[in-house]
Amino acid sequence: MMKVAFDIRSLGYTEKRTGVEEYIYNLARTFPKIDKKTQFVFFYNHPQNLFYLKELGEPKNVTLVNLKKNNRLFNFSTKLLGKPKISDFLPFKPDVVLIPSYRLLALGKGIKRVIVFHDLSFEHFPRFFSLKIRLWHKYIDLKKQARKSSHLIAVSQSTKNDLVNLYNTVPKKISVVYHGVNLPEINDFELKKIKEKLPEKFIFTLSTLEPRKNLKTLIKAFKLLKKEVDLPHKLVVAGKKGWLRKKDLALLNHPGIIWLDHISPKEKTALYKLADIFVLPTYYEGFGLPVLEAMSLGTPVITTNLSSLPEVTKDSALLINPHNLEELKNALKSLLESKNLRSIFKQKGLKRSKEFNWEKCAKETLKVLKKIA
């Protein structure tokens, strides 16, 4: 019987989930359903003992452990002294520890380490990150962590290529395991209530507000298009405030733009369903989960031709150069003016999205862990 420790600390702080938290949340709820023989321990860290995975229930093969440690002291001690060992807190010694986010962790003798790499955007574009985040990445030294790990999981071939090229990782040490897609269902009454708060016609974008997501170019393209044609659409921007310059945030102050900050999972489902198109003009993604979510609900997508996005979408989205303002503006115009084109991308997106699911992701992840344990 394999014994697996799963680091779910990223779920220990908030109910609001972005990409990495969605990944952890869905694997945590899927693992015990599909593998009854493996013994899991999920460890998190919350001083008030709050746990944001109520849907998990109490499966017999899962033990929950709250470390209840001060994060700064925990990280400092791990970095400087190589302790405490995570095995000291767990009810049994695991064969392997799955680390799905970029954190410091000392394991224990004979325990295998598998890290999930979601992207290496901070290596490609350090200027897109705040000084604080750049210092954190330097402090945890992911290149060294990759070297020390027994195996790595990359969420796309694009991310695997980055690990090989930037960290000199041997390709056979890396397994590619794609994300799944899982959005909550919403009934007609709930959809109607959310629709009442939204414009009749709108373009939707969803991301943390940070330079890498290239929101500035989207807003400029939207404003240009508004000047050129009689466009009834508004631009709905959803996402929590990340690291974004004040002058860039000021771009959101426009009568045609609505900023919703962070939204609930059901609100997200409604926005995808109600939007005429979804746009993610990002400079770099390790996977691009919002694009897959939009496709799974039949929303036509415009995204970029860089990093993982051509790999994830194949021919199911309209791809543009994120550095080319005119190209993005023309793509918006083409999709908004052509119902037939929107229908084509809707059908292609629905078909492509069916190739991704969390059960498949969980099975392939466990297959990697069993090979390493």
200: CATH: 3.40.50.2000
| Per-residue confidence (pLDDT) for residue 248, from 0 to 100 | 67
The percentage of the chain sitting over the pLDDT mark of 70, rounded to a whole number, equals 95
Q: pLDDT tens for residues 106-150?
A: 898 899 999 999 999 889 888 888 888 888 888 889 999 999 999
Q: pLDDT tens for residues 312-353?
A: 999 999 999 999 999 999 999 999 999 999 999 999 999 999
pTM for the full model? Answer: 0.90
Whether residue 173 sits in one domain with residue 194: no
Tell me which residue range forms the domain holding 297.
188-353
How confident is residue 58, by pLDDT bands cut at 50, 70 and 90?
confident
3-state DSSP call for residue 185? coil
Q: What DSSP assignment string belongs to 195-231? A: HTTS-SSEEEEE--BSGGG-HHHHHHHHHHHHHHS--
Residue showing tokens 């240009």: 224
Whether residue 278 sits in one domain with residue 173: no
Whether residue 146 sits in one domain with residue 200: no
| Per-residue confidence (pLDDT) for residue 80, from 0 to 100 | 80
Whether residue 162 sits in one domain with residue 47: yes
Burial 180-200 (b: 16+ CB within 10 A, else e): bbbbeebeeeeeeebeeebee
How confident is residue 4, by pLDDT bands cut at 50, 70 and 90?
very high
Residue 48 pLDDT exceeds 70: no
Q: pLDDT tens for residues 169-203?
A: 999 999 999 999 989 899 999 999 999 999 999 99
Whether residue 162 sits in one domain with residue 275: no
What average pLDDT does this structure show over 207-217?
Answer: 85
Whether residue 281 sits in one domain with residue 233: yes
How confident is residue 243, by pLDDT bands cut at 50, 70 and 90?
low
Report the domain count for the chain.
2
Query: With the C-alpha atoms ordered 68, 71, 73, 76, is the resulting torsion angle positive or negative?
Result: positive
Whether residue 197 sits in one domain with residue 78: no
CB atoms under 10 Å from CB of 275, counted, come to 22
Distance CA 287, CA 100 (A): 14
Whether residue 306 sits in one domain with residue 367: no
Whether residue 366 sits in one domain with residue 345: no
Whether residue 220 sits in one domain with residue 159: no
How confident is residue 242, by pLDDT bands cut at 50, 70 and 90?
low
Whether residue 228 sits in one domain with residue 145: no
| Per-residue confidence (pLDDT) for residue 161, from 0 to 100 | 97
Whether residue 283 sits in one domain with residue 227: yes
What mean pLDDT value characterizes the chain?
90
| Per-residue confidence (pLDDT) for residue 335, from 0 to 100 | 96
- Hey, what amino acid is at 240? K
